[in-house]
A = this chain, B = another copy of it.
């Protein structure tokens, strides 16, 4: 292992072979890191969730550790929580953050400054571009493309509480253009395309393209 200066590795961490960890990194207790992993300067791996009185759903105690697969690369200043499973070959850009109870499938890319909330599953070979926002309780199948600055949501009553949250469902191979807005629970069908800047208020059929505000079929 290469390890930079002033990096903090807590107890009970497992680190594979040929791992390179930068300067001023934090690896929290129990984190498991595979082989050939790169973690850049200033990243935090294995963070525990925070909460306050107003939060609808408190984070659980006793979550499993962060598991980072082989050949994963993690950018500078990125914050990864515990109970995240980053599969092999994934790239996570600088200043991204990934909350608890998230799986990221093999060879996917999470862009710089992107945010992934808790309880979301991301397939294989998915691209989530820079500054995109992936809400909680969302499903993203294999080969999906999410453009830069895409915004998603999961709470149609906006903070009233006491209702089930459901994020968008992105089926295999669909593509979402930059700065598009997806409302809670909409399903984007297989290989469908959402244009840049579209506001998607209802489901989009497989193989179709929608654009505009509200989004309509081309």
Q: Which B residues are CB-close (under 8 A) to A213?
A: 197, 199, 212-213
Question: A residues 81-140 with Cβ under 8 Å of B?
Answer: 89-91, 93-95, 97, 99, 107-109, 112-113, 115, 117, 125, 127, 130-131, 133, 135
**Residue of B at shortest CB range from A148?**
B133
Which B residues touch A54, using CB under 8 A?
89, 91, 107-109, 125, 127
What is the CB-to-nearest-CB distance from A73 to chain B, in angstroms, rounded to a whole number? 5
CB contacts (< 8 Å) of A73 on chain B: these are: 50-52
Chain B residues whose C-beta falls within 8 Å of the C-beta of A97 in the assembled complex:
94-95, 112-113
- Count the copies: 3
Q: State the CA gap A159–B179 with chains docked (Å).
A: 16
Give the B-binding residues of A (Cβ under 8 A).
4-6, 8, 22-24, 26, 38, 40-42, 44, 47, 50-55, 71, 73, 75-77, 79, 89-91, 93-95, 97, 99, 107-109, 112-113, 115, 117, 125, 127, 130-131, 133, 135, 145, 147-149, 151-153, 158-159, 175, 177-179, 181, 183, 193, 196-197, 199, 201, 211-214
